[in-house]
Amino acid sequence: MKKLLYWLVSIFTITVIVSSCSDCPPATTDYEKIRQSLNVSPCSNGTFTRSSSSDEDSSSSDNSSSSSSGSGIFIGVGNSGNIVLSTDNGSSFDNVTSSTADRLRGVTFGNEIFVAGDTTGNIVRSTDNGSTWDNATSPTSNALRGVSFGNDIFLAVAVSGNILRSTDNGSSFDNATSPTSNSLIGITFGNDIFVAVGNSGNIVRSTDNGSSFDNATSPTGNNLWGIEFGNDIFVGVGVSGNILRSTDNGSTWDNVTSNLPDNSTYDLLGVTFGNDIFVAVGKSGNIVRSTDNGSTWDNATSPTGNALYEVTFGNDIFVGVGASGNVVRSTDNGSTWDNVTSPTGNTLYGVTF
């Protein structure tokens, strides 16, 4: 009788295990079987048993807050609404159909959505990894320059100090309060702070998810074209090789040495961060990099003399874009670069991952 009871209990236990651990590999020990039947332990392969619906929602939310493309896609944008896409880590690019014929200047990624802005105030977005694009509602006709994403908010900056803000994944935008009438050209996000830069050395920052901005003290009157965040450091770049750095969340800034001659041939137009390295690109194909959080900079070997307008990082790859559709790529942390075959002769002004 005891043996019969034992086998009945065993069959019931195995049935519970199968029903509650369908996502797990078969348990191999009695200990694992009991733990899995209670749904409180890791599966035998180290993963946890199926989560409750609230856990699944939380996990999905965490994943969607990423500001870089989980699908491994590079997107470049430029003249005549040109949009190019790479699905092989920037080795090759293809044209995709654009919903605008106007010059696109900036592009970003967040919540599985690409968003770009053009020089007529038009905003376009893609929800299918850059394959197709639709127009979003925009409140301005001012030329848009930089676009950024953080804390589920898309922000775009434009001429005349115009700042646009979207809380619905880029479907529609509203004007945000701006403290400047100077054109804003670049914007980024870090440590819950948006920082934008522009003409005459203007730097503005927001600590309330882009609802309002304040001016920050700038050490330069030079136009600033690009801004990036990494390792708790904000780095801005601009004309005549000007590089600025902030270690206090964009409140104050200092000039740093760029190792470029002080003339317009060496204007720096874009900057990015990856693998503990800042990389900036500019006119005449110039590329500089910093391995010490933006304190000092060295020249990198460039394969082009064309102006490079923007640079980005993803999957251990740096990709830059520029004049005449030029695309360059580095697989060694920005030390050396190669040209990539481009599907367009249109100048590309923005790139993201």
- Cα distance from N-terminal residue to C-terminal residue, the chain: 67
What's domain 74-352's superfamily in CATH?
A: Kelch-type beta propeller (2.120.10.80)
% pLDDT > 70, the chain: 79
Instruction: Give the pLDDT confidence score for residue 266 in this predicted structure.
Output: 84
Q: Tokens at residue 329, please? A: 């790529």
What integer best gives the mean pLDDT of the chain? 85
Phi and psi angles of residue 15, each rounded to the nearest 5 degrees, phi first: -60, -45
What would the pLDDT profile of 305-326 be if each residue is shown by its tens digit? 999 999 999 999 999 999 999 9
pLDDT band at 327 (very low <50, low <70, confident <90, very high): very high
| 3-class DSSP assignment, residue 14 | helix
Q: Are strands 174-175 and 163-166 parallel, antiparallel or unpaired?
A: antiparallel
Q: Is 113 left (phi over 0), alpha (psi -120 to 50) or beta?
A: beta
Compute the distance between CA of residue 261 and CA of residue 122 in angstroms, rounded to an integer. Answer: 37
What would the pLDDT profile of 202-212 be if each residue is shown by its tens digit? 999 999 999 99
Q: Are strands 348-352 and 174-175 parallel, antiparallel or unpaired?
A: unpaired
What would the pLDDT profile of 42-83 be if each residue is shown by its tens digit? 343 333 222 333 333 332 333 333 345 456 899 999 999 999
Decide if 241 contacts 223 (C-beta within 8 A).
Answer: no
Neighbouring residues of 250: CB distance < 8 A, sequence distance ≥ 6 = 193, 195, 203, 205, 216, 234
Q: Is 20 left (phi over 0), alpha (psi -120 to 50) or beta?
A: alpha
Which amino acid is located at 152 in the chain? Answer: D
